[in-house]
Structure 1
Amino acid sequence: MTELKKTPLYDKYIEDGAKVIDFSGWALPVQFSSIKEEHIAVRENVGMFDVSHMGEIIVEGEKALDYLQYVLTNDISKVTQTKAIYAMMTNEQGGVVDDLVVYQLEDNKYLLVVNAGNTDVDFKWLTDHKIDGVEVKNVSSEYGQIAVQGPKAKEIMEKLVAVDISELKMFGFIQDVELFGKTVILSQSGYTGEHGYEIYCYAQDTVDIWNGLLEQGVVPCGLGARDTLRLEAALPLHGQDITPSISPIEAKMGFSVKLQKGDFIGRDVIAKQKEDGPERKSAGLELQERGIARTDYEVFNKNDEKIGYVTSGTQSPSTGRSIALALIDIAETEIDNEVFVQVRKNKVPAKVVKTPFHKN
């Protein structure tokens, strides 16, 4: 059996009694106290997550921008040394190889932050499509990453850093920030639907920064709360809501696609979907009776015809309701439309609702 990879904070989890699970080949905490307590801490106060398992890939060279414009869906010319961008990497069929965030560190040098389980796949994809004048390096082992999220995140971080972060907007970032005596990149971003920051540090500094944040009263949170928070915010999870066979348009992530920038991998398929409309699309569901809609549960219409399947589902800690994202026939995606989710032996009625499910 392959040994699980560990982040620099692994020993700290064990010391603090966290429940650790296998997540994409990594030993990570699913919870420290309880998923609900951690979820509420982020919605009402401030919590933090170890996201050091995320992959980091450097793309640099005189042709770096041209290359990234071709392998990614968003307009990378909009990325600056203070403003990052969210993008998709798509295949020739328009499916999502991965979703990621792109930072520019220097002229002709970019940092791609990718999903942990896809780091090797992404690195191979990028190297397979590499052009002359570009170098691609997997530097994941050099970075630690901590996400500080919640309505009190700004207040905490403003106390801890000397730079002015009051005007930082979503995906704005500052390099060479000093935090607990360590040099970090501070990005106004996250995966919870709350205001928050992602701290990129040298791997060896991760524990000191985590301990410093603990002393400030920031609540440690695990993957369980991270999943319920992102699902309430209707943020997609790669491998479920977006996959190599689901396009950004089908996943309602069309904002990350800029057709006018020119050619990119999968552009023709995605452009056709944008123009004609896709045959299926992601929709928010709220179950009307007891039951939890789990990934891959089938969804039916009023005529008992299968119309799709659940991509993500949970019981919302914020509302107590059973919520889900489902990929269903476009004709069934109207708000308030009634559908049915096959939960074990029962077809449970559900309503198509607006997303996000929770918004502060």
Structure 2
Amino acid sequence: MTKRAYNFNPGPAALPLEVLQQAQEQFVEYNGIGMSLMEISHRSKEYEAINAQTQELLLELLGLKSGYKVLFMGGGASTQFATIPLNFLKPGKVGSYIITGSFSEKAYEEGKVVGEAVIAASNKEGKWRSLPKAEDIQIDPNSAYVHMTTNNTIEGSQFSYIPETGDIPLIGDMTSGILSRPLDASKYAMIYAGAQKNLGPAGVTVAVIRDDLLAEEPKHLPVMLRYSTHAKNSSLYNTPPVHSIYMVNLMLNWVKNNGGVAEMEKRNVEKSKLVYDVIDASGGFYNGNIDPDSRSIMNITFRLPSEELEKKFVKESEQNNFVGLAGHRSVGGIRASAYNPVPYEACKALAEFMVDFQKRNG
């Protein structure tokens, strides 16, 4: 077999080799039914079993025993930015947004399109370097919900606490951090995530919504835009992305069989520390984009002394079997996305490459 790349892509991102091999074994014919999963009906008993088990697995790994529904939806997390206020932002109420990066800012802008949206906290003036402290978050008591992005994929920051919102529903975009560390998911009224980082391939978006939020059906909305539609029909109202959901199932089983979310956090802390230690010991050659107390264990971002050196770093990294280390086009620099499936060996190799690169170019 060809040598696997050190895949630091931000999404679609790395998948565990054993998951890919498992899917490969079942690709042409699933469980002896004479067809691929790509071909079977989403109403078949085989797919309905996958659909139900995947929902149960996710709730189990999140530690949510009851009171929540798992929905499989299309359109990525970006579509959720609009779907959330369409469903929950009633006239006379405001949507409150904690703005900590590009994607939470986009969610806020979509909220303003639908209704009235306000900023509960923002760290934009500080160029996203550190996250707001809990005491700096000012929540309008007339809020329909509070929206936050728990891990900022582009900037490389991650919340270490869950804001207290009282009776106001808290909604978390966990696209790039879901299942990377244990958290009290019951503090969230809704969690959502595009699958293409920690949950599987692109093509499906997961939404986990508390039952009380689903109780009211917003009949002013088209049927497909109502969360209640998908909840009532167990995400089978229309044809779902069957194969993508199957891959999510395999990924959730992989997490469970590899020690669960607590073990994921242990591995992720160890992996990210390898790279952060090189940054911190480089004497400023590598300059982290985020203050240490706000750093993400998923997306490690940093700059070099010049854009010319950054381009050289990326070019040489590609020649050394690394993939996906260029920073987001909107900010530049370097970004290593070390999601759950990225192995320790990849981060170790990156750290060694960084030390060598500095010796030759520092």
Give the TM-score, by structure 2 length. Answer: 0.28
- Which has more strand, going by share of residues? 1
Which protein has greater RCO, CA pairs closer than 8 Å, 6+ apart? 2
Give the TM-score, by structure 1 length. Answer: 0.28
